[in-house]
Structure 1
């Protein structure tokens, strides 16, 4: 049973004391209510027993009187110390009575005359009596009075036991709750002490997990899962900082060396030609790092504009054709999505640049509709991506062995940015093997319904463009 404990009590006394006090209070209230109910039931039971005995003796006396026995003989033969008798005539005059009862006044004071089935309470000295009436032949009536002293004594005994037992049992319940709460909280204390000992440099440690699969066990497993996530995040952060520092060091070193040479012999056109690409490279890297930092801190929060994805795909195809280095094949259909045009354009640019960087001679861009989704595919005819690396390529600063040369361009953030932007737009990206070899990046985005004929993704122009 869950016990409600006030907040101020938990704050002042702690969980163990608060739980013990609450348990003692609950037990005390329950025992008091049970004691009251027991006293009432016990008193009712004893009173019913006294009434039954008194009525039985009265009926016995009525039977004797009906058989012609005199009132005096009947009272003498039947009356006992527990049940006392009076025999009355039709006028209520006492004809015979037990020695303890008055011989002039009915013990019930005439209260039962109108209703013989009723009972009244009277007293003789200090002895309380329960009086019943039974009619007899010849307009006679028998009053039988049963003693309630035993009932009162038993009620007093039960009450005294309750007064002594309730505090004692409440104290025992509180002490037991305090003890068992301490035992139950021992694993929690072990978890707390272990977590307190874990520093930022030692996130590989874990808290002890109890065998029981209860709330404490789930807490320990949740804590270990959190520590694992923090450890992975810290490792990723360190790797991120290290990789970013490494990537920034190279252009900075080139610019610094050129500036030192220019300072000694004067700047030349070659110095400018060498520093400008490095400065652009560093600017792109810083821009990418800022975008990823925003994504980690509060998400990218893209705008909700109408974006024609086919226009972005056609623009990227035209841009790549303008370089004249590769054959570009494109097949697109009108597809409109909701999102941030600049961010989605960056996704297209990163995917196309990545394909161009690894392609041998050809890049293929396809855009089609698939139910409620827009499917964009960018493929190249390069060496492709091994199956074991097709998920890892979307991590930050990940470059496969063949793409690690500086001349290949890129620092391993392009596909990571693609994944972050698409996730913010409710989409996804996956790496697959292209049909003719090479790598294929498949993007899925929720699309808006548009009118028009859907061109199959296999439909490509009959001739390829090269410029």
Structure 2
């Protein structure tokens, strides 16, 4: 609120000052100038007579005559050398023509006495001194008026700010997974229409996410039943299948089961309010222990592990990390020609678990979308390699749940996927409502 108030107040004050300056310049150019000119006319007549009288009498009588004349005029009078006056050439010419000159520095009028080298000085003139003092009063009044504008602005802005705070708080609750959060602003609020629109959006979002989860869960669970029946009936066939037919059917059934498992996992990871089960782990020994299991996913390729560290402590959900790395390694082994390399690193409080293969790689136009669910890259990673397009989406969701990211690093050959996770984190604070955009390394 402070920032919004300051911006609005400064804008109002700037507009106010500009308006005052315009009005002040207009006043100074008309009324004040006319008033000064009128005063000059009044003083001109008195000074003309006095200067003429002084020019006709000896200089030793000037003082007494000016004292008597000052009482009649009501202003101080004295003479001064012409050379001591701070005058420009045009002012001197103006004096030589018999005119008077206003000295704004000390609020006095001067007129040359005849053709002598002295001038008659009248003042300070009370009216001019009052005008100067009035300018400071005007400045003080303007400052006081400007400061007093802050109170009504604050009073007017406060209910708007409260409505905005409710919107922000509700948006934060929605982002944290509380789909029941609503703004519910009163009808009298100036932001009531915005709040109603926001609540309608939240309701549609809740219905969309709930419907998607319900559909995914229902499909996955419903598919498990016929799959179980198929396995049972295949086992009870009167005439047994050939080994090749049995292996083919087994692969198809395993693919369906894997798809169902991926759908359930992805639905659980993207569900609002999803929470991890964190623990403290050492990843170097864990990776070495899983190397044999990963190699079994693709025996036709050579799998190697590179780690420059003896130990690599980490806090997070190990079961989800295993799932993410299984997906990355299996994906690399499916598309590699000869070898896959798994590397563990630690940089800037970030753990990097990367998997690189020497396969055809990912097309440049698909780099931005490679972590999207159900994406199929038919040119290089076609359907014959298996998979349902959810493996990398699951990897990204697991990374985001830990406050990290999954990305595709530049590579001269093949694909180089990387899972970046914080070493230390609050693991229950990073679940997301919807799929974010993939980050490219």
TM-score (norm 2): 0.44
Choose 1 or 2 for highest CA Rg.
1
> What TM-score does the superposition give when structure 1 sets the normalisation length?
0.41
